[in-house]
Structure 1
């Protein structure tokens, strides 16, 4: 029967303290401050009628000690067998500078291109004060108030309104965000805002239910509503986009 040499454990005893020194007991993995998600939805029909639509959304959040950066990019496209019926792109960016506790100062910009909307191009810039009123494990609520500037380019021909193509104005902005976990794998989110000026008032409401399928993949059902008080002639005051998407977080 072979016996282990008495000197074999000695190298292990010499190496072990050095290995423990490389990974101290209080070591923690570095906190991941960057969150990203991508969602996509596609639909095609053929036969008596042919149509297709696509919507996509990307979100990137970097939450640092002093400030939080959030960027959102959205695209929506639809067509039938004759022509394109919808084409819309949105870029949003918001910076929240933390004041301590649940309060912050924000700066926000939103750029919208909508080929078939009541306004083909909008630029909105605002800044103000925000507060997270509820921040629990399953419930979150935050409110914001501020002011800014809005530029509108209506969907008109050159002959409409004497050829006047665009307007700009100062605005007051009020908004809120609410999130509630309904189940271990299901979350309800809603976000609303009212931006009002001396020329126009725009109200938006975004609602979604997100159900985690497995790992980082989820099913998201959402509805975006936009109401514009004053629109060009022959334009609708209310726009509604409903989506069913797969969402991946990483």
Structure 2
């Protein structure tokens, strides 16, 4: 299977899901574009993403699925799959309790996979209209990662309690353009390994339900696996289909 068909397969899932979304008041977006990475994988590859949101007066449910794949001369040079889901219970107008799960398999990160589950408190500290807001959250949970190679003590498993701090800032630049900044840190309470992710993006409507998105993403691991870089960056340009 070529890199195009592997990555596009994720976005193709949006077709039946879009119909389901329209019938059940879900909203979402499918994304396909070019991704330039530095760090453990320095490649230009294809990026696929599917995001879903369902919101009621008391609940907000969020799901996101990502993939990136590159193959050159019959050799895989980049391969990443990621899934995360969060459910928020809104117990007041601007306050919520969250439960979040995360899993990622990045073939060239030094990890066989990374995963975590966290829960905690969130607060919408600022809001202007429907598209501009600032959410901050803090919580605790558990992280389980598996290394590709054993560490100096012969262990492949990394498991520990963690604290999670996160924020999301959305600002409507106009009726058709949106700036978004996401920042999150998961802090190990035993081994003190801190994994921080930042994503800055701007998207603008092109025509109808299609938008153009430019994004820059940074992942930093304070105690990276042996022979791995501690910082990965991603720069992407993609098309979004909203439904």
Matches within 5 A, 1:3-42: 33-42=25-34
| Structure 2 partner of 1:57 | 49
- The CA deviation string for residues 157-210 of structure 1, in whole angstroms up to 9 with x for no partner, is x5x535311110000110000011123322110100011012111111011110
- In structure 1, how many angstroms separate the alpha carbons of the residues matched to 2:223 and 2:216? 22
Q: 1:130 to 1:52 in 2, by over 3 A?
A: closer
Aligned partner of 2:20 in structure 1 is: none
Does the Cα contact within 8 Å between 1:98 and 1:105 map onto a contact in 2? yes
Displacement of 1:84: 1.3
1:185 match: 176
1:129 and 2:141 are equivalent in the alignment? no
Task: Give the whole-Å Cα distance in 1 for the aligned partners of 2:77 and 2:71.
Answer: 5
Is the aligned partner of 1:222 residue 2:221? no
- d(CA) in 1 for partners of 2:175 and 2:58? 31
**What TM-score results when the alignment is normalised by the length of structure 1?**
0.80
Residues 135-158 of structure 1 deviation map (CA, whole Å, 9 limit, x = unaligned): 1125210100000000111231x5
Aligned counterparts of 1:52 and 1:174: Cα–Cα separation in 2? 31
SS of 1:194's equivalent in the other structure is: strand
Matched, 1:171 2:146: no
- 1:132-171 aligned at under 5 Å gives the runs 132-137=124-129, 139-156=132-149, 160-171=151-162
Relative to structure 1, the CA distance from residue 82 to residue 34 in structure 2 (aligned partners, 3 Å threshold; closer, same or farther) is closer
- Can you list the C-alpha shifts for 1:111-158, whole angstroms capped at 9, x where unaligned? 1111111322011100000010111125210100000000111231x5
Residue of structure 1 in register with 2:229 after alignment: 236
| Higher alpha-carbon Rg | 1
* 1:66-85 equivalent positions in 2, closer than 5 A: 66-81=58-73, 83-85=75-77
User: Are the counterparts in 2 of residues 52 and 80 from structure 1 also a CA contact under 8 Å?
Assistant: no
- Deviation of 1:232 (Å): 1.9
Is the 8 Å Cα contact of residues 134 and 141 (structure 1) preserved in structure 2? yes
In structure 2, the residue corresponding to 1:161 is in which secondary structure?
coil
Q: So what's the TM-score if we normalise by structure 2?
A: 0.82
- Which 4+ stretches in 1 moved above 3 angstroms? none
Q: Where does structure 2 lack aligned partners over 5 or more consecutive residues?
A: 1-22, 36-42
Out of 194, 206, 221, the position equivalent to 1:213 is 206
Q: Aligned residue pairs: how many?
A: 211
Q: Which residue of structure 1 aligns with residue 111 of structure 2?
A: 119
CA distance in 1, matches of 2:44, 2:221: 27
Q: Which deviates the most, 134-143 or 199-208?
A: 134-143
Greater relative contact order (Cα < 8 A, sep 6+):
2
| Native 8 Å contact 1:52 1:79 kept in 2 | no
